[in-house]
C-alpha cells in the first residue's frame, strides 16, 4: 500500500493553536503530513525559518509522521519532490477562501495529480492568526491559549 503524504504549507510565523488543530485533523487524511515552511524573502518575518522549524519540532516532538521542512519556489514542485499528493490548507473565513481558491486552481493547473484539501478552522480558533498573535504579544497582551507554550515564551523574549 502506498504511503499517503500531504503537505501543510505556510509561514507559521508564529505557529498557533489554530495551525495545530488543522495539522491534527490533516493527520487523519494522510500517513505523513509535512509541515512546509515557505522561505519568502519578500516578507520580513518575526522569526527566522530555522527558529520556526525549531518551534514546530518542539511542539510536534519530532514525530516521524509530521516532518518539518522549509522550501522555496513553487509549492507543487516541492510536493512532487516530497512525494505528496495532497496540499492541506486551513480556512478561517470567506476572505481566506477567495485567496486559497485561486492558489488551489493554479496549483491544479501546474500539477493536476496533486489535490488541495480545505479544512475549516474550529469555531474557537476562527479568529486566531499569526499576525494578530504578534500584534497582541507586541502590545504586551497575553497570548496563552493561542500559541503553544514554547512559542509564547519565544514571543515574550522577542517582543
Active-site residue, from 27, 32, 52, 92: 92
Active-site residue, from 52, 130, 134, 154: 130
Q: How far apart are CA 107 and CA 76, in angstroms?
A: 6
130 catalytic per annotation = yes
Strands (E) in the chain, as ranges, are 5-10, 32-38, 68-71, 86-91, 115-120
Helices 75-82 and 94-110: angle between axes, nearest 10 degrees: 60
Active-site residue, from 28, 42, 43, 95: 43
Active-site residue, from 11, 19, 129, 154: 19
98 Cβ neighbours under 8 A, 6+ residues apart: none
92 catalytic per annotation = yes
Cell numbers describing residue 64: 516521524
Residues belonging to the active site:
19, 43, 92, 130
Amino acid at each position: 500500500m502506498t504511503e499517503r503524504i500531504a503537505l501543510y504549507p505556510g509561514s507559521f510565523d508564529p505557529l498557533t493553536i489554530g495551525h495545530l488543530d488543522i495539522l491534527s485533523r490533516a493527520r487523519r487524511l494522510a500517513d505523513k503530513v509535512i509541515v512546509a515552511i515557505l522561505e519568502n524573502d519578500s516578507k520580513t518575518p518575526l522569526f527566522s525559518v530555522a527558529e520556526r522549524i525549531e518551534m514546530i519540532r518542539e511542539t510536534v516532538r519530532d514525530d516521524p509522521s509530521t516532518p518539518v521542512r522549509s522550501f522555496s519556489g513553487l509549492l507543487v514542485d516541492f510536493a512532487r519532490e516530497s512525494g505528496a499528493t495532497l496540499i492541506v490548507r486551513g480556512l478561517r473565513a470567506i476572505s481566506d477562501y477567495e485567496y486559497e481558491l485561486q492558489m488551489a486552481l493554479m496549483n491544479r493547473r501546474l500539477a493536476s495529480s496533486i489535490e488541495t484539501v480545505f479544512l475549516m478552522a474550529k469555531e474557537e480558533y476562527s479568529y486566531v492568526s499569526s499576525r494578530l498573535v504578534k500584534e497582541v504579544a507586541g502590545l504586551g497582551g497575553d497570548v496563552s491559549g493561542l500559541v503553544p507554550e514554547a512559542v509564547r515564551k519565544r514571543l515574550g523574549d522577542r517582543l
